[in-house]
Amino acid sequence: MASAWEHFGEVANIVQLTGLNAAALVSLIVKAANRARMHKQNCQQFALHVKMIGNLLEQLKISELKKHPETREPLEMLEDALRRAYVLVNSCQERSYLYLIAMGWNIVYQFRRSQEEIDRYLRIIPLIALLDNARVKERLEEIQKDQREYTYDEDDRKVQSAILNPQPSEDDTIILKKSLSCSYPKLPFDTALRKENEKLKVELQRSQAHLDVAQCEVIQRLIEVTENAADPLSENASPVKSSQKLESGKAKKPFEKNPEKVHHRTSSRRATISSGHKQASTVESNLQEEWHADLLGCFAEPYLCVKTFLCPCNAFSKISSVATGKQMSSAEACNEIMAYSLILACCCYTCCVRRKLRRIFNIKGGLFDDFLSHFMCCCCALVQELREVEIRGAYGPQNTRTCAPPCQHMES
């Protein structure tokens, strides 16, 4: 699935925020968090964390800092991250309620990633070197210690299970009605369904523009839920149909589908999804990701950097196990590195493993970039690759172990 972060960071919305400084963006984020309809707890926690940063920035002379090139660029990157964060928080108010429910954990992940991005840019601003101020140092330490936990509410998870259930029950229908009534307190249920249907169609167009086929399927399912829930309402409003319903004595479930309508809908939507599959396969190379770990950010973890420098075989064995799909021990990695070092081709060997790792994670780059990274600083490249493996949670195949059964005694 393509990154949902790109969906939240719509270019048009971010351009509208151009020209606002960091303090103004923090104020907008706090106001947007107070108006959020979904992920209220996450928005409030995120706003509290960003407010701490805003209080710190108010003590600094931003205009003076932007005059220095060493601080201007990090400040601009921090402001860009705050703009994307505002779009994320504001989306919890404006976007489709059912869409936000279905994409619950995906949005939680975006909150975590946004906080990490903002804190990362805050760390690289050399504030301590420019301002020898004890209060600023204390505030920076407080921000680093303030690690917020973002999660998906239990009530929202129940609603998500109800709307994504392929065979919904009457309880699922009741849950849907209650959740929509709470989300649209001033609108009747049928009007809320129409409003959700319109918003979901906009979300579908966005996903199709990003060629996100998997997300398109989820949105198609949500559109079916709104349409099928609206059908019984229109039938109940018609006196002719209600009389026919009483004569037949057959009561339809709120989620029950008209076979002809559903066949028409699903056939057209399957055609849309299949065309999306074809488009996604043709431009798959254009959807490559970036490294999560920076090549020159090895000193962010000094212990790992020193450990890799003193014993590169251990790190290389973990990287190679993920890249090749074959378990490699530290001893085997040491033998491989020593063998290629004898023919002065150690960098060539390690850069080939880096290339395989890029292909598995679908990361941008080329063979020359891989070789140059290992040729200039092999230790930095290994640390970057190992951090990337740990961040993505990828691990190579593990050796299987056979344990003997415990002792058993037979009673005579």
- Asked whether residue 408 is domain-assigned, the answer is no
pLDDT at 174: 83
Q: Are residues 326 and 346 in the same domain?
A: yes
pLDDT reported for residue 247: 44
Domain that holds residue 146: 4-152
Q: How many CB atoms lie within 10 A of CB 380?
A: 20
Q: Are residues 228 and 319 in the same domain?
A: no
In this structure, the answer to whether residues 244 and 320 fall within a common structural domain is no
Per-residue burial over 201-229, b = 16 or more CB atoms within 10 Å of its CB, e = otherwise: eebbebbbebbbbebbebbbbbbbbbbbb
Residue 100 sits in the same domain as residue 210: no
Q: Are residues 172 and 75 in the same domain?
A: no
Among the candidates 89, 123, 152, a domain finishes at 152
Last residue of a domain, one of 120, 152, 184: 152
Has this prediction a pTM greater than 0.85? no
pLDDT of 126:
57
Residues 313 and 378 in one domain: yes
- Judgement on whether residues 214 and 335 belong to the same structural domain of the protein: no
CA 198 to chain centre: 25
Residue 397 inside a domain? The answer is no
Residue 399 in any domain: the answer is no
101 and 196 belong to one structural domain: no
Determine the pLDDT at residue 3. 45
Same domain flag for 242 and 138: no
Residue 169 lies in a domain: yes
Q: Token pair 């204390």 is at which residue?
A: 138
Q: Which two tokens stand for residue 250?
A: 């057959």
Q: Phi/psi at 346 (nearest 5 deg)?
A: -65, -45
| Residue 402 domain-assigned (yes or no) | no
Whether 348 is in a domain gets the answer yes
pLDDT of residue 259: 47
Residues 137 and 229 in one domain: no
Please say which residue of 258, 284, 310 terminates a domain. Answer: 284
Q: Do 38 and 146 belong to one domain?
A: yes
Q: According to the model, what pLDDT value does residue 196 have? A: 85
User: In sequence order, which residues have a C-beta less than 8 Å from that of residue 220 and are 6 or more positions away?
Assistant: 204, 269, 272, 273
Query: Tokens representing 157?
Result: 């998870």
Q: What is the pLDDT of residue 130?
A: 53
Give the angle subtended at the CA of 101 by the CAs of 98 and 104, to the nearest 5°. 150
Q: Give the per-residue pLDDT at 119.
A: 86
- Please tell me the total count of domains within the chain: 3
In a domain, 17, yes or no: yes
Determine the pLDDT at residue 136.
64
Maximum separation of any 2 CA atoms in the chain, in Å = 91
Token duo for residue 143: 């921000």
Indicate if 265 and 315 belong to the same structural domain.
Answer: no
User: Quick check: is 188 in a domain?
Assistant: yes
According to the model, what pLDDT value does residue 23 have? 82
pLDDT recorded at residue 241: 43
In this prediction, residue 106 carries a pLDDT of: 84
Tens digit of pLDDT per residue, the chain (412 long)?
434 444 444 444 555 667 688 888 888 999 989 888 888 888 989 999 888 888 777 766 666 667 767 667 778 888 888 989 999 998 888 888 888 888 888 888 888 998 888 888 877 765 544 544 555 667 777 888 888 888 878 888 888 888 888 777 888 778 888 888 888 888 888 888 888 888 888 888 888 888 888 888 888 888 888 888 776 655 554 444 444 443 444 444 444 444 444 445 545 555 554 444 444 444 344 455 777 777 776 667 777 788 878 888 888 888 888 888 888 888 887 888 788 777 777 778 788 888 888 888 888 888 887 888 877 788 888 888 888 888 777 766 654 444 445 554 444 4
